[in-house]
A and B are shown apart, each in its own frame.
Chain A
Amino acid sequence: MAEERRGSWFGFGFCGFGQALGSGRGRQVHSPEPLQTPGEDADVCRVSASWSYTAFVTRGGRLELSGSAGCAAGGCRDAWASEALLVVLRAGPGRGAGTELQAWAPGSALSGEPLWAHTVGPEAEGEDAPGGEPQAGALPLLPGARAYVSPRPPFYSPLAPELRARRLELGAEHALLLDEAGQVFSWGQGRHGQLGHGTLEAELEPRPLEALQGVPMAEVAAGGWHSVCVSETGDIYIWGWNESGQLALPSRSLAEVGKTAAGEASGPKEDGSDVRTAEGESGGLAPFIAIQPFPALLDLPPGTDAVKASCGSRHTAVVTRTGELYTWGWGKYGQLGHEDTSSLDRPRRVEYFVDKRLQTKATKM
């Protein structure tokens, strides 16, 4: 999402392709480092990170790709990066000529022909729904909210207009939608509980999350197999797969390496039996949770309100109203930014930004 104020961008995590920091392959970055944004005074308004490359879009419409894709192009309003496809929204040749949606192979350097292209009609541009979001930064949701793109077939999917989609996020096998009224919808595969309807069944069409009805959401984010949303009052709801603690719930795999925060669980007991549960805070036994199939309210430290959430494939990041960044989940490549490679099953503040007293904004890592 574009912001009015200028900001600086920082990156941390897997950097095997030199994708943002120009620091060579094989490196992992465990502590946040400033991104080398393209050009001087380039005002980056959108960053979209895929596994092996990152896309930057400036306010001036310049698109730069770093990492394995490495190139630059002009006339871009928005970009969305995935390993299979780079999707860009490019301004048409003249005023009123509409916007073109283009899908490129990431390695093509945007030269030659796109894999496919779709004209987004001028009527979509002209729409100005009440409380509507600025058009750039909404990918994979298209301007006009009548359709969205996906890196998997079908690449271009229509959305029912009555959904009044404000924001759309894609996971590895599911989709989340936030509408104008703050209602969350989900569809796709449900085997990891990521749809939040209380079952493991798939849904073919967007289905509203009944558990969240009546609580207007401000933000929604999708990880590989988990889902997060932030209410207008700053509460976080989270559901889906917790195999690396990405739901901030006790995770068995972390306990087995002695890292669960939920208690003293520290590996197999002497008689060989597994420690099956973790100690809860009240001293009772809290079970490990691998799958949470309906939304759970997440506890941040008292007094903190969340304003933005973002997810990697197996980790979660949240920015608070006071500009703090919390991360948790899979940390093997330093993507949590805590200067180590531990995974966490509870939120932890990224100290780098506290020390530097900076405003932050979460992006996919």
Chain B
Amino acid sequence: MAGAGTLREALRALLPPTKEELTLQLGETVERSVVRLLREAVELFCGGRGDECLQASEAILDYSWEKLNTGPWRDVHRDWRRVYAFGCLLKAVCLCEETGDAGAVAAALRVCDMGLLMGAAILGDILTKVAAVLQAHLPSGKRPAPGPAQEQPHEKRRNLRPQDSNLLRSLSWEVVGKFRHSPSEDIAGTEWQRGNVAHPSCIFLPKARHDHVRIPDVRSERTVPRLRCPSLQHFRKHFLVPGRPVILEGVADQWPCMKKWSLEYIQDVAGCRTVPVEVGSRYTDEEWSQTLMTVNEFISKYIRDEIPELKRDISIPDYCCLGDGDEEEITINAWFGPQGTVSPLHQDPQQNFLAQVTGRKYIRLYSPQESEALYPHDTHLLHNTSQVDVENPDLEKFPKFAEAPFLSCILCPGEILFIPVKYWHYVRALDLSFSVSFWWS
């Protein structure tokens, strides 16, 4: 294991060479007192006064954190997120200056992850690079194999491929959480849990706990049509323009056969990284720290089975080029969670390709024309979420729901479901599931 000296050098090598370059260009939004504090922190750092720099970094973090929590997230000025990231950078480096022991490095890595989660890119995305260096100085985070205790061979950690890096960063770690019938019932005196700010999905514990997974009999339901590698024109004319769902088969076969995604790989390349875990509902954007954990913690706590090694790589479906936006504007999210994870009925403002990588998902789709029968919440926060529990609806409270027509399917590995914009969808994972969604316009 590398010692403190090499860690220090490696980190210093990532920083700008001069004090003057270790700075942010900030606009009017950031108050002068903060700019002054940032400058002082840099002075302290360059002057070798690590403890005082740490104090100043803490103040920078605490002050900018309050700005990040003021007003809706989309209205938070990017400069405040950059200030926050800068505070994380200084704090992380200062934590490792004195000692290179695993505790300090893990703490510094956690700080970097907070900066990556809540901050914005600074100094050429320096936090990503610092995190990679820190990670290299931590022991490999593999889960011990079951069976008699064995000597763990000291393996060289595999490097994360760039495309995997983006995917891992966008990974949404899902867990079953408490079911909430409606916001108003549970407000006072109950624990509020944060949801993913980017995607307003809620995770529910299935109402009745079965020993065996309840596999819906989709033969009795109208199913989503399936097509094998349709042409772009055919897809556009018959599904994209009229807004009709379809399952695309065989598309994933054309993806390059390269990498195997496995639990071992995820743990190896990201085990010690901190990720936000989606638990409960997004009735409030509660602070991130309440449901943060490392990937290792998430896996040991919630994932019981191995995921079968996957033979496919993941690419953006060609059909996305039919949209208006650039390739950079396509949002790719990965979803990883145990059997039983449920996303309640909701709609998204963009077109969606949901690619199933491993495990099966039961999915129900309702047309936007049926919105009234789906009883969306009337609050601004949740107007794109239905109040109805799809597989166990309260028909006394939501009578029209019984008559609302829908399409359903069981989405299997290798299949891609096209969910038209604003199409209501409900998802339940029948197995440990890994999916990738592509949001585009």
Q: Which A residues are closer than 8 A to B by beta carbons?
A: 14, 16-17, 25-26, 51-53, 68, 83-84, 105-107, 172-173, 189, 191-193, 198-202, 224-225, 243, 252-253, 272-273, 276, 287-294, 313-314, 332
Asked whether, in the complex, the Cβ of B71 is within 8 Å of the Cβ of A189, the reply is: yes
CB <8 Å contact, B69 and A225: yes
Q: Which residues on A sit within 8 Å (CB–CB) of B283?
A: 200
A84-B290 Cα distance, complex, nearest whole Å: 30
- With a 10 A CB-CB cut-off, give which of B36, B71, B191 has the most chain A CB atoms: B191
Interface string of B379-393 (1 = CB under 8 A from A): 111000000000000
* Residue of A14, A68, A272, A290 touching B284 (CB-CB under 8 A): A290
CB distance from A335 to the nearest CB of B (A): 11
Q: How far is the CB of A53 from chain B (nearest CB, A)?
A: 7
In the complex, A26 Cα to B53 Cα: how many Å?
9
**B-side interface residues, number (CB < 8 Å):** 39
> Given A173-B70, A201-B380, A106 and B184 touching (CB < 8 A)?
no
Chain A residues, CB < 8 A from B34: 83
Are B187 and A252 in contact (CB-based, < 8 A)?
no
B66 part of interface (Cβ distance < 8 Å): yes
Contact of B192 with A by CB under 8 A: yes
Q: Name the one of B56, B63, B71, B379 contacting A201, with C-beta atoms under 8 angstroms.
A: B379
Q: Which residues of A contact B184 (CB under 8 A)?
A: 198-199
Nearest 6 pairs of A and B residues by beta carbon: A52-B33, A83-B31, A290-B192, A172-B70, A68-B33, A291-B192
B286 touches A106 (CB 8 A): no
On chain A, the residues within 8 Å of B286 by CB distance are 243, 290-291
On whether the beta carbons of A16 and B56 are closer than 8 Å, the reply is yes
- Does B348 reach chain A (CB closer than 8 Å)? no
Chain B 280-320 interface 0/1 with A at a Cβ cutoff of 8 Å (1 = within): 00011111011000000000110000000000000000000
B379→A293 contact, CB < 8 A: no
Residues from chain A with a CB closer than 8 A to the CB of B55 are 16, 26
A-contact 0/1 string along B1-39, CB 8 Å cutoff? 000000000000000000000000000000111101100
Tell whether, in the assembled complex, residue B190 and residue A287 are in contact, meaning their CB atoms are under 8 Å apart. Answer: yes
What is the minimal beta-carbon distance from A69 to any residue of chain B, in angstroms? Answer: 8
Report yes or no: B191 in contact with A26, Cβ–Cβ below 8 A: no
- List of A residues within 8 angstroms of B198 by Cβ: none
The reply on B241 being an interface residue by CB < 8 A is no
| Contact partners of A107 in chain B: CB under 8 A | 32-33
For the complex, is B52 an interface residue (Cβ under 8 Å from A)? yes
Determine the distance from Cα of A327 to Cα of B379 in the docked complex, in whole angstroms: 35
Whether the Cβ atoms of B379 and A200 lie closer than 8 Å is yes
- Pairwise interchain contact B190-A332, C-beta atoms closer than 8 A: no
A289 touches B52 (CB 8 A): no
- CB-CB under 8 A from A84, the residues of chain B are 31
User: Are B32 and A272 touching (Cβ within 8 A)?
Assistant: no
Contact of B36 among A68, A200, A224, A294 (CB under 8 A): A68
How many inter-chain residue pairs (CB < 8 Å) link A and B? 99
Whether A200 lies near B31 (C-beta < 8 A) is no
Q: Are A192 and B190 in contact (CB under 8 A)?
A: no
B327 within 8 A of A: no
A-B contact pairs, 29 of them (CB 8 A): A14-B59, A51-B63, A52-B33, A52-B36, A68-B32, A83-B31, A83-B33, A83-B34, A106-B31, A172-B70, A173-B70, A173-B71, A191-B285, A199-B379, A200-B183, A200-B187, A200-B379, A200-B381, A201-B379, A252-B191, A253-B290, A272-B300, A273-B301, A287-B190, A287-B191, A292-B188, A293-B187, A294-B188, A332-B58
Q: Could you say which of A191, A201, A273, A289 has the most chain B C-beta atoms within 10 Å of its C-beta? A: A191
**Do A16 and B71 touch (CB < 8 A)?**
no
> In the complex, what residues of B have CB within 8 A of residue A199's CB?
183-184, 187, 379
Given the complex of chains A and B, what is the CA–CA distance between A288 and B52 in angstroms? 35
Specify which chain B residues have a CB less than 8 angstroms from the CB of A51 in the assembled complex: 33, 63
Task: Please report the C-alpha to C-alpha distance between residue A203 and residue B30 in the assembled complex, in whole angstroms.
Answer: 27
Chain B residues with CB under 8 Å of chain A are 31-34, 36-37, 40, 52, 55-56, 58-59, 62-63, 66, 69-72, 183-184, 187-192, 283-287, 289-290, 300-301, 379-381
Contacts of A193 in B (CB 8 A): 187, 284
In Å, the complex CA distance between A84 and B36 comes to 14
Chain A neighbourhood of B71, CB < 8 A: 173, 189
Task: Provide the residues of chain A in CB contact with B285, threshold 8 Å.
Answer: 191
On whether A25 and B40 interact (CB within 8 A), knowing A252-B191, A287-B191, the answer reads yes
What residues on B are CB-neighbors of A105 within 8 Å? Answer: 32
Q: A53-B33, A200-B183 are in contact. Are A290 and B59 (CB under 8 A)?
A: no
CB B49 to nearest CB in A, in angstroms, measures 9
Q: What is the CA–CA distance of A53 and B190 in the complex, to the nearest angstrom?
A: 38
Residues from chain A with Cβ under 8 Å of B290 in the complex: 252-253, 290
For the complex with contacts A172-B70, A200-B183, A293-B187, 7 further pairs of A-B residues with Cβ separation under 8 Å are A191-B284, A192-B284, A198-B184, A200-B381, A201-B381, A224-B66, A291-B286
Q: How far is the CA of A189 from the CA of B380 in the complex (A)?
A: 12
Contact partners of A52 in chain B: CB under 8 A? 31, 33, 36-37
- Are B33 and A106 closer than 8 Å at their CB atoms? yes
Residues of A close to B187: CB separation below 8 A:
193, 198-200, 291, 293
| CA A131 to CA B376, docked complex, whole Å | 48
Q: From A108, which residue of chain B is reached at the shortest CB distance?
A: B32
Given contacts A26-B55, A51-B33, contact A332 B62 (CB under 8 A): yes
Chain A's closest residue to B381 (CB) is: A200
A183 to chain B, nearest CB (A): 22
Once the chains are docked, how many angstroms separate the CA of A314 from the CA of B63? Answer: 11
Closest-by-CB residue of B relative to A332 is B62
Contact at B379–A276, with CB atoms within 8 Å?
no
**Which chain B residue lies CB-closest to A242?**
B192
Please name all residues of chain A whose beta carbon is closer than 8 Å to the beta carbon of B189 when the two chains form the complex. Answer: 287, 289, 292
CA distance A243 to B288 in the complex (A): 11
A52 to B66, CA, bound (A): 15
Compute how far the CA of A272 lies from the CA of B190 in the bound complex, rounded to whole angstroms: 22
B287 engages A17 (CB within 8 Å): no
Point out the residues of chain B lying under 8 angstroms from A106, CB to CB: 31-33
Q: How far is the CA of A348 from the CA of B289 in the complex (A)?
A: 26
B153 CB to nearest chain A CB (Å): 26
The distance from the CB of A251 to the nearest CB of chain B, in whole angstroms, is: 10
Say yes or no: A272-B69 contact (C-beta < 8 A), given A83-B33, A289-B189.
no
Given contacts A83-B33, A272-B301, A290 and B40 within 8 Å (CB-CB): no
Give Cα A294–Cα B184 distance, bound, in whole angstroms: 12
Residues of chain A within 8 A of B66, CB atoms compared: 172, 224, 313-314
Task: Kindly state the separation between the CA atoms of A26 and B40 in the bound complex, as whole angstroms.
Answer: 10
